[in-house]
């Protein structure tokens, strides 16, 4: 028992000694722990303050429409001290610049990293993410040679068939293999769609040999036309023409790009000098297929990053249908890589942007309501009243629309218009009563109807909201008609004349009227192929003056018990005629609103 108590006492004594030693060490280390905590807190506060400065600059730049610079500020803010707002804005600007894959990645990260965000913030980001994902397509490249190299927008892919997600828009595919002619395949990919490109390589028939070595005999990677060809010394067969060559080694070792001209069936030797390239440059152009030129040498297409000499350099970015960009960049040793983010502006004078679609066939149908000031013909004066000429035209138009906005169509339609006049001054000439005219008034109901055929040329601008003007010419194969009635008197009442009603008589006939049309319209695209439009359309009809009342059918004049007897000329005139006169003017103008729809194939 005593031994056990002694052992217990020794254990307690050791434990108390350890506690005193631990407390002593803690007291000595406390200042250092406080310093560590304070330093960490200070570093976090400093990072947060720096991130806020970048964020606020990004907001200002975004509001001014300088999206490329705003992107760099939001990216720096998000990387320095991640916040939901910085990440959200970073993703939105990437989307604005057409870099949908990167935007999708950033927005997904924000949703994962900031799970406790407000419901309305999450709903907004999810909506932006869904829209962004819908603007990403799939590109599949199938080289005819299984071990061929595939480069998409300057980024080398694994050998063989390639299937990748890409931003909607234009992309440049390059396919290489030694001994084969390289392929450059510009390709457009729509969001949500999949595009398959079959790259059929052909054996290289016209080429030359390219030999590349390093001046000091060092082993470095040989890059030919932005693809890895091998190690120095290297020699291979390439197509005749211009190629860009540079070396790339470990660390900063490498060479600046040079342009080499390879001639047919000749051997071209290039000896490059490697040197420390202590500055780095990254160029991020949009569209992704844009070419990047550094100091006059095209170094690649799409995002490009490389080691270069420190100092001044000139960077040029170009792509078909875009305004070229040029900028002088100064690089300083010891600083992080200089990043140049640049979205090219569209060259709106280029035919590619003059319409939302490439050249295509289309079929449209439209209906126009017509109104005019008058149809000409017999004059309407005094107590005469004339209604407005009213009518309509229905047109079916198959057309071919060029990518520049110009379109040519065949117009096939049907025309109808009419006008009524009441109480115009008129005369009837009784037969057999030379020099005598029955005076009175006539009412006319005139109309023209028939098919229209012609051609038209239009010009349209816009993508979703469209503006169009169109001119057309053709023929109206019309059928005219005039239904006429009248009220007359055989002689003056003082001489015993009588009033009578002339029954309705109808004259008809055919006419060919050259027709000119013009329209201005606005439309809106619904989906990919359907356009609804409307506007104002006018028609000018010429040559209708040849349509006349020709007295084919006589009118019974007077009030006779026995018209044949002619017993009293003052009461009974027998048969009478109106006389020949033109029913319409030589030039008629009618115009009115129209609505229509067009389907594009």
Place 355 in a pLDDT band, splitting at 50, 70 and 90. low
Distance CA 79, CA 416 (A): 71
User: Can you give the C-alpha Rg of the chain in angstroms?
Assistant: 44
**CA trace torsion 48, 54, 55, 58 (10° rounding):** 180
Q: What is the CATH number of domain 41-134?
A: 1.25.40.10
What's the DSSP call for residue 181? -
Which pLDDT score, from 0 to 100, does residue 317 have? 92
Residue 57: partners with Cβ closer than 8 Å, 6 or more residues away: 73
pLDDT of 216 > 60? The answer is yes
pLDDT band at 35 (very low <50, low <70, confident <90, very high): very low
Listed residue (295, 290, 260) closest to 277, CA to CA: 295
Task: Return the residue matching tokens 């009175």.
Answer: 440
**410 touches 448 (CB < 8 A):** no
To the nearest whole percent, how much of the chain has pLDDT over 70? 89
- Quote the pLDDT of residue 304: 83
CATH class of this structure's domain 351-600? mainly beta
In DSSP notation, 242-295 reads EEEEEEE-STTEE---EEEEEPTT-EEEEEE--EE--EEEEEEEESTT-EEEET
pTM above 0.75, yes or no: no
Residue 37 above 50 pLDDT?
no
- Distance, CA of 272 to CA of 212 (rounded, Å): 7
Indicate if the pLDDT at residue 595 is higher than 90: yes
Q: How far apart are the first and last CA of the chain?
A: 105
Rounded average pLDDT over 63-68:
82
For 303-307, 353-357, 417-421, 554-558, which range has the lowest pLDDT when averaged over its residues? 353-357
CATH number of 136-199: 2.60.40.1120
pLDDT digits (tens, 9 = 90+) for 172-193: 888 888 778 888 888 888 888 9
Measured CA to CA, the distance from residue 369 to residue 366 in angstroms comes to: 10
The residues spanned by each domain of the chain are 41-134, 136-199, 207-343, 351-600
Q: pLDDT tens for residues 115-124?
A: 888 889 899 9
The DSSP element (H or E) to which 589 belongs, if any, is: strand 587-600
* CB contact at 8 A, 210 and 239: no
For residue 38, the model assigns a pLDDT of 42
């Amino acid at each position: 028992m005593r031994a056990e108590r002694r052992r217990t006492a020794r254990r307690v004594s050791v434990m108390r000694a350890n506690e005193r030693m631990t407390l002593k060490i803690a007291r000595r280390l406390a200042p250092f722990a406080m310093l560590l905590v304070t330093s960490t807190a200070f570093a976090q506060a400093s990072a947060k303050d720096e991130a806020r400065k970048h964020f606020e600059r990004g907001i200002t730049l975004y509001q001014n429409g300088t999206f490329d610079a705003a992107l760099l500020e939001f990216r720096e803010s998000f990387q320095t001290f991640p916040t939901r707002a910085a990440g959200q804005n970073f993703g939105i600007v990437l989307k604005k610049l057409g870099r949908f894959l990167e935007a999708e990645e950033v927005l997904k990260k924000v949703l994962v990293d900031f799970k406790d965000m407000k419901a309305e913030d999450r709903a907004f980001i999810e909506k932006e993410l869904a829209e962004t994902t819908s603007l990403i397509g799939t590109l599949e490249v199938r080289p005819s040679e299984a071990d061929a190299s595939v480069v998409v927008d300057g980024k080398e892919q694994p050998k063989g068939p390639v299937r990748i997600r890409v931003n909607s828009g234009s992309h440049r595919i390059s396919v290489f293999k030694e001994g084969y002619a390289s392929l450059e395949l510009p390709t457009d990919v729509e969001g949500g769609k999949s595009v398959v490109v079959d790259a059929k390589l052909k054996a290289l028939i016209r080429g030359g040999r390219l030999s590349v070595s390093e001046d000091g005999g060092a082993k470095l990677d040989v890059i030919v036309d932005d693809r890895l060809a091998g190690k120095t010394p290297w020699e291979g067969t390439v197509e005749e023409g211009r190629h860009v060559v540079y070396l790339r080694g470990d660390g900063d070792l490498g060479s600046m790009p040079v342009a080499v001209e390879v001639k047919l069936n000749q051997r071209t030797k290039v000896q490059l000098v490697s040197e420390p390239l202590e500055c780095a440059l990254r160029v991020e152009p949009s569209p992704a297929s844009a070419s990047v030129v550094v100091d006059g040498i095209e170094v690649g297409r799409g995002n490009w990053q490389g080691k270069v000499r420190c100092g001044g350099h000139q960077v040029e970015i170009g792509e078909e249908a875009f305004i070229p960009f040029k900028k002088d960049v100064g690089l300083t040793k010891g600083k992080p890589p200089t990043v140049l983010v640049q979205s090219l502006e569209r060259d709106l004078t280029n035919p590619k942007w003059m319409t939302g679609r490439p050249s295509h066939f289309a079929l449209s149908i439209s209906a126009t309501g017509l109104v005019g000031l008058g149809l000409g013909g017999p004059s309407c004066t005094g107590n005469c009243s004339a209604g407005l000429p009213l009518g309509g035209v229905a047109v079916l138009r198959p057309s071919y629309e060029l990518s520049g906005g110009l379109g040519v169509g065949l117009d096939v339609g049907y025309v109808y218009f009419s006008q009524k006049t009441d109480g115009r001054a008129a005369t009837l000439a009784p037969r057999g009563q030379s020099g005598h005219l029955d005076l009175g008034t006539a009412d006319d109901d005139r109309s023209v109807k028939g098919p229209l055929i012609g051609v038209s040329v239009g010009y349209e601008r816009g993508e979703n909201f469209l503006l169009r003007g169109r001119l057309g010419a053709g023929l109206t194969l019309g059928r005219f008609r005039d239904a006429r009635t009248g009220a007359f008197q055989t002689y003056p009442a003082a001489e015993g004349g009588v009033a009578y009603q002339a029954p309705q008589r109808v004259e008809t006939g055919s006419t060919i009227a050259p027709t000119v049309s013009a329209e201005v319209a606005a439309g809106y695209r619904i989906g990919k192929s359907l356009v609804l439009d409307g506007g104002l359309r006018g028609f000018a009809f010429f040559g209708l003056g040849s349509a006349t009342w020709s007295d084919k059918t006589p009118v019974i004049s007077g009030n006779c018990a026995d018209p044949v007897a002619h017993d009293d000329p003052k009461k009974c005139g027998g048969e009478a005629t109106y006389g020949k006169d033109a029913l319409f003017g030589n030039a008629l103008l009618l115009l009115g609103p129209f609505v229509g729809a067009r389907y594009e194939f």
